[in-house]
Amino acid sequence: MLNTYLQGLAVGFSLIIAIGAQNAFILKQGLKRQHVFWVCFACALSDSLLILLGVAGFSAVLLHYPQIIQFAQWGGALFLFWYGFQHAVQALKSASVMQLSANSASSLTQTLLMCLALTWLNPHVYLDTVILLGSISTQFADQAYFALGAISASWLFFFALGYGARVLIPVFENPKAWQFLDGMIALVMWGIAVSLLFNA
């Protein structure tokens, strides 16, 4: 049981550590110290639900009806292009305006809606958590322990990223660092969007 749990934990970490829409959003919220707990909680809970769906067999449904994933790919690509454009605009702003933007706060509702959109409208999340983890879990007799390990990885990583981001706050006292971060986020979002369109 412990071995199965640890393998689930390892696979979960290997999939979640890659730079993606969720991680970029959590990092920025952590740097701004805005709604960090709720953003981490929403991402971890969403991942947990998706992992449970995959282990419960929903991956077979997605494989049987690939048009669900295809629809998510087009919708997710459009959303990520738009989100990337917003960050590109932020990156091109002057340093003084950028400092004001970094200090501005969105409401909890707005932040959570954006967080959930980045999670549930991103097909990569379904491919990783539902299909891939769901398929791997079938190799284990104790699938529940594998799922628990993968879920633990999500909770540990998201909260570590959200609260660990404050270590970088001294770097981001320079407005140009915010411009660089927004530029990188824009490129990551566009890169994911393009990959979705080419794989659609």
The runs of H, that is alpha helices, within the chain are 2-16, 21-32, 36-53, 59-64, 66-92, 95-103, 108-120, 123-125, 133-137, 143-164, 175-199
pLDDT in tens, 155-190: 999 999 999 988 888 887 777 877 888 888 788 778
Distance CA 185, CA 85 (A): 10
The model carries a pTM of: 0.74
**What spatial distance separates the first Cα and last Cα of the chain, rounded to whole Å?**
38
pLDDT in tens, 20-66: 778 888 988 998 889 999 999 999 999 999 999 888 876 566 667 66
Q: Give the per-residue pLDDT at 100.
A: 45
153 within 8 A of 12, measured Cβ to Cβ: yes
